[in-house]
Amino acid sequence: MLTTQERSAIEEEREHYPTARAACVEALKVVQRTRGWISDEALRDVADLLKMTLDELDGVATFYNLIYRRPVGRRVMLLCDSVSCWIMGCDGLKEHLKMRLGADLGQTSADGRFTVLPAACLGACDHAPALMLDETLYGDVTPQEVDRILQEGS
Amino acid sequence: MARVVIDGKSYEVDGRRNLLHACLSLKLDLPYFCWHPAMGSVGACRQCAVKQFKDDRDTAGRLVMACMTPAADGTRISIDDPEAKAFRASVIEWLMLNHPHDCPVCDEGGECHLQDMTVMTGHVVRRNRFPKRTYHNQDLGPFLTHEMNRCIQCYRCVRFYRDYAGGRDFDVFGAHDQVYFGRAEDGVLESEFSGNLVEVCPTGVFTDKTLARHYTRKWDLQWAPSICAHCGLGCNTSVAERGGMLRRVMNRVNPEVNGHFLCDRGRFGYERAQRVTEDPEKEKRTPEDSEKKGLSESSGSSGVKRFSEFSGSLCGLLIGIGSPRASMESNFALQTLVGKDHFYSGLSDLDASLVSLILDILRNGPARAASLQDVENADAVFILGEDVTNTAPRLALSLRQSVRQKALERIGKGGIPLWHDAAVREAMQDEHGPLFIATPYATRLDDVATAVWRAAPDDLARLGLAVAHEIDAEAPAVSGFRMPMNSMADALRDARRPIVVCGTSCGSVPLIQAAANVAWALRRQGRAADLCFTVPECNTMGAALLGGGRLGAAFEAEADTVIILENDLYGRAGAAQVDGFLGRVKHVVVLDHLRTRTTSKAHLVLPAATFAESSGTTVNNEGRAQRFFQVLPSREPVMASWRWISEMLVAAGRTGWASLDEVLAAMGDARIRAAAPPAAGQRIPRRPPRYSGRTAMAAHVSVHEAPPPPDPDSPLAFSMEGFSPEAPPPLTPFFWWPGWNSIQAAHKFADGPSGVRLIEPGQRGAFFREVPAPFTPRRGEWWVVPVHHIFGTEEQSAMAPAIVKRSVEPTLALRPEDASDLGVSTGGAVQCMLDERTYRFRVQLRPELPVGVAGLSLMGATKGVGLPCWMALRRA
Ligand code: SF4
Ligand code: SF4
Ligand code: FES
Ligand code: FES
């Protein structure tokens, strides 16, 4: 069941669009903000609210890789693996993260604190390699920097 | 017309088409995936790349997608250009990256567009060494098998299911190289047109689950062109058998009727139209003794012998009852045997009067009977009373396209070519209509309606009459009627090709008259308005054209012997009346292929052939005579009804007929004869050139290969030998062409319409002037209208296993208020007395029903109840 707050936040978003359907990405973001991810049940509730079928909403939800259809850790790290960052050594960062967290791309650390996901260019190519922890962008990242970020972020 | 140069050769093509379509129409080979003749282009797959040149001095050229480029006058392209060829080969290579290469175990194998295109582009060696992505396959219900790993992401399935057919429980999920086509969760696909995915999907993702139960490769099947027997629309089909077993039904393109699509009833309702070889006892398709004991006691004798013994004893007055689900030829044969005065049409009395009214309207009035293609092109539609999806399913798909016409006109004027589906849908968004739906209960087309109105049939008729009056003041006014749907008359008047859809399902004469008034009023205003009437069965229209006495009169007739043709009288009249009649007549002979209550009361049942076991003609709702052809080789004692009757004629010392053409000649209607060429000249093979096992398949019976069974009734042969490329559309058994093994080969064949229209409009059209009184609800009684079900209402498909799985339990639909007054809720039961019998029905709540109206599922026993009628209901 959606909470009253979620419901009213979605309805507010709804106002900004010509049709209910068009507001569905925002609606999913509302729910994800409060719950961290979109469960099947949440998906159904949002679909009902927006008069969409489950299929229609899930088609949208699964299209966007920042809408999470599986539970994620408390914090989500997006590690860029696109061209500039690949040239500048993102593979090394990936290995480092794997060693520190025991989590590969697409996985969550055993303690449930971090989920690491790949991202295709964070728009920070001039400071490659780059990563994002939740809303914060980090550039020129080194393995040491990764340790510091993990420390701060935990 | 436009002149285009393709690989240095100049061609005339239709300039309104895209280059891909133009090339295919010229029968040139150009590979493609995402384009579809009925759904247009989206340029998604990149398979149809060709080189385009600016002029004759341009030698460099540039690659374009043929499906996204207009076939404009002066266009120069090359299909054979090495760069274009290399590009196409690389496209197929990447499309195949994740493909499982499981053709040997894939039901699509041998008729797969992906196989064909891969071979055509010359991609023969797999270079990719990475693991392939795999998917979960879903259970999509009894019709379709899902095998997602085979997908090449052409998007045809979603485009068909959602955009074209309006289904909402199917979609595309994910992104990048993880794209999934299916449902959010496992479950039965809701769309009544889901089966088309079998043909729309160019790979083996969606295949026919009914075929899988008795699977045979396309090349090993024996095919015949057929006409769907499961509603009045007469969609064109190809039916296939092997080893005496009917295996599948596929679409056969008739541009004026079904185009590229069928409904699921038509596609999956075939499995009982055959001898069930595993358990012949169950089927009992032999002459048999009935409860009342047959005329011939010799139970072991063959059907033919017993029949002749029987017909030798024919004496006294003989009457015949025809059938709207039997062919023209069989009805005519019976009429000939018993004589016009003793021949009764097999329609219920109500249907007979409704259909003869429809005939009168279409023959004498100025509005034409619309084909499905006309419906698709209509720019305004008014549906009066019909729940189209359930009474004439394929029509609903055409109506879904009609709601785009107004917008298409605007978009076309803006310069967007109409085949450019992506651009058109973008420009169109949710714009649709006008489509007005006035019915007693909600329909599956309501989602695209401009406005809907629910009322009792009499009030629907008043609405129609009032609209007609608003369009043309000469039409009678309806006093005291408040128009519920604003601007409806204006919308119809603003259209150039409006169509009024109505039919027999409400059982209302005034409703049909009102529909005619609307169309005629529009005609008087100079609009090319057409009428589309639905009728219940595959040859209802033909039976009405043939005429005959009322069934009610047959029941009164002084008869010693009655011959009942492919008809369950208990579905046409009250049980008491039928019991009385069958009990009174000395000899009851029934020709049928279904086991019905009527056959169980017969003295002699003669096993008649189904549509798959015989050839003949049916006339669809539009008045189009179309021929269906036998696909299952004849096997004694099953024969076409007209053959049984011919033998009766001979036994009675009269002349019979040796072939279908002889019956047609005796009928004397040149147009019906012209529905398909006669059995003359070069034979057309029913079997594809690659049919295997011909010399071995009967080796367990005899090592000598038997000659192909003769077929005196058609120009087709039960053989691989003959000449097919030039077969005219009505005689094309299957679509197959060198290099084009899948059904996409359709473009290699003549694409003209087939069938002959028997009914053209007249000049008269004096408005019907009778206005029914407003519907007045009664206390404790309901006006019960029939509720049709696509799966279950139609007799010949109702027992097909896949259809059975989709059928619902019959219910009585009530308004929630009425149900609570009766003290019942959903799932509870009500009962009523009809015809001295008590019926019990499970209750379903339908809030949209008009006050005083209830709806009863029309299936099985409720068919003889005589709906619509008043019923006093009590809690059971
Ligand atoms: S399932 Fe078939 S139709 Fe749908 S995208 Fe895949 S290949 Fe195309
Ligand atoms: S719409 Fe009617 S004729 Fe066409 S396939 Fe369906 S049942 Fe058969
Ligand atoms: S490629 Fe990594 S930020 Fe652009
Ligand atoms: S058919 Fe032209 S791009 Fe797919």
Asked if the A4-61 domain carries CATH number 1.10.10, the reply is: yes
CA angle, B641 as apex, B393 and B504 as ends, to 5°? Answer: 30
Choose one of B96, B114, B144: the last residue of a domain: B96
- The predicted pLDDT at position B150 comes to 97
Chain B residues 161-180 with a CB less than 8 Å from chain A: 168-175, 180
Residue B720 forms part of a structural domain: no
Q: Write the CATH number for B824.
A: 2.40.40.20
With a 6 A CB cut-off, is B232 part of the ligand 2 pocket? no
- The predicted pLDDT at position B306 comes to 60
Query: How far from B182 is each of B138, B159, B185, B229, B853, CA to CA, in Å?
Result: 7, 12, 8, 30, 39
User: At CB < 8 A and 24+ separation, what contacts does B273-281 make?
Assistant: B273/B229, B273/B246, B273/B593, B273/B610, B273/B611, B273/B612, B273/B613, B273/B796, B274/B241, B274/B244, B274/B245, B274/B246, B274/B610, B274/B612, B274/B613, B274/B632, B275/B244, B275/B245, B275/B632, B275/B635, B275/B638, B277/B243, B277/B244, B277/B245
Query: What 3-state class would DSSP assign to B351?
Result: helix
B424 and B524 share one domain: yes
B494 and B620 share one domain: no
Residue B746 forms part of a structural domain: no
Measuring CA to CA, which residue among B344, B322, B353 is closest to residue B556? B344
Q: Does A65 touch chain B (CB under 8 A)?
A: yes
| Protein residue closest via CA to atom 5 of ligand 2 | B266
Q: In angstroms, what is the span from residue B170 Cα to ligand 1's centroid?
A: 12
pLDDT at A105 over 50: yes
In the numeric block, which tokens belong to residue B662?
């002889």
Choose one of B63, B96, B129: the last residue of a domain: B96
For residues B697 and B655, what is the distance between their CA atoms, to the nearest angstrom? 38
Q: Which ligand is nearest to the CA of B24?
A: 4
With CA atoms as reference, the chain B residue closest to A55 would be B184
Put simply, the answer to whether B175 touches A55 (Cβ < 8 Å) is no
Q: Which of B192, B228, B386 best tests ligand 2's pocket when mutated (most atoms within 8 Å of CB)?
A: B228
Q: Which ligand is nearest to the CA of A90?
A: 3
Please provide the average confidence, as pLDDT, over all residues in chain A: 95
Q: Which ligand is nearest to the CA of B155?
A: 1
- The predicted pLDDT at position B298 comes to 28
Instruction: Return all residues near B729 (Cβ < 8 A) that are at least 6 apart.
Output: B253, B254, B749, B750, B751, B752, B753, B754
| Closest CA–CA distance from residue B104 to any residue of chain A (Å) | 32
Q: In angstroms, what is the span from residue A129 Cα to ligand 3's centroid?
A: 7
Residue B419 forms part of a structural domain: yes
Angle of the A24-35 helix axis to the A54-63 helix axis, nearest 10: 70
Q: Are B781 and B814 in contact (CB under 8 A)?
A: no
For residue B434, whether the previous peptide bond is cis, meaning omega lies within 30 degrees of 0, is yes
B387 and B521 share one domain: yes
CA angle, B539 as apex, B535 and B543 as ends, to 5°? Answer: 95
Residue B221 forms part of a structural domain: no
List chain B residues with pLDDT less than 70.
275-315, 724-725
For residues B227 and B526, what is the distance between their CA atoms, to the nearest angstrom? 35
Q: Write the CATH number for B477.
A: 3.40.228.10
Q: Which of A87, A122, A126, A127 best tests ligand 3's pocket when mutated (most atoms within 8 Å of CB)?
A: A122
**What's the structural domain count of chain B?**
4
Q: Write the CATH number for B36.
A: 3.10.20.740
B558 and B579 share one domain: yes
Q: In angstroms, what is the span from residue B199 Cα to ligand 1's centroid?
A: 11
- The predicted pLDDT at position B310 comes to 62
For residue B417, whether the previous peptide bond is cis, meaning omega lies within 30 degrees of 0, is no
ipTM: 0.93
CA distance from start to end of chain B: 69
Tell me which DSSP letter residue B192 carries: T
Residue B615 forms part of a structural domain: yes
Choose one of B617, B640, B668: the last residue of a domain: B668
Query: What 3-state class would DSSP assign to B321?
Result: strand
B400 and B333 share one domain: no
- The predicted pLDDT at position B289 comes to 42
For residues B561 and B338, what is the distance between their CA atoms, to the nearest angstrom? 10
With CA atoms as reference, the chain B residue closest to A21 would be B430
- The predicted pLDDT at position B307 comes to 57
Q: Are A122 and A132 in contact (CB under 8 A)?
A: yes
For residues B551 and B569, what is the distance between their CA atoms, to the nearest angstrom? 9
| Protein residue closest via CA to atom 8 of ligand 2 | B266
Average pLDDT over every residue of A31-39 = 95
| Amino acid identity at B175 | A
**Would you list the DSSP string of B533-580?**
EE-SSTTHHHHHHH--B-HHHHHHS--SEEEEES--GGGTS-HHHHHH
Put simply, the answer to whether B175 touches A62 (Cβ < 8 Å) is yes
User: Which structural domain, as residue segments, surrounds residue B65?
Assistant: 2-96
Q: Are B536 and B232 in contact (CB under 8 A)?
A: yes
Q: In angstroms, what is the span from residue B849 Cα to ligand 1's centroid?
A: 40
Q: Does B55 touch chain A (CB under 8 A)?
A: no
- The predicted pLDDT at position B309 comes to 62
Instruction: Return all residues near A4 (Cβ < 8 A) that are at least 6 apart.
Output: none
- The predicted pLDDT at position B836 comes to 76
For residues B711 and B633, what is the distance between their CA atoms, to the nearest angstrom? 9
Q: Does A25 touch chain B (CB under 8 A)?
A: no
Q: In angstroms, what is the span from residue B36 Cα to ligand 1's centroid?
A: 13
Q: Does A136 touch chain B (CB under 8 A)?
A: no
Q: Are B257 and B620 in contact (CB under 8 A)?
A: yes
CA angle, B739 as apex, B727 and B104 as ends, to 5°? Answer: 115
- The predicted pLDDT at position B314 comes to 59
B476 and B609 share one domain: no
Query: What 3-state class would DSSP assign to B512?
Result: helix
For residues B306 and B312, what is the distance between their CA atoms, to the nearest angstrom? 10
Asked if the A75-153 domain carries CATH number 3.20.19.10, the reply is: no
Put simply, the answer to whether A53 touches B173 (Cβ < 8 Å) is no
Residue B871 β-bridge partners: B782
B518 and B654 share one domain: no
Question: Domain locations in chain A?
Answer: 4-61, 75-153
With a 6 A CB cut-off, is B230 part of the ligand 2 pocket? yes
B559 and B517 share one domain: no
- The predicted pLDDT at position B231 comes to 97
Q: Which residues of B fall within a CB distance of 8 Å from A63? A: 173-175
For B712-753, the pLDDT digits (tens) are 999 999 999 987 667 899 999 999 999 999 999 999 887 788
Q: Which residues of A fall within a CB distance of 8 Å from B168? A: 53, 55-56
- Residue B796, phi-psi category: left (phi > 0), alpha (psi -120 to 50), beta (remainder): alpha
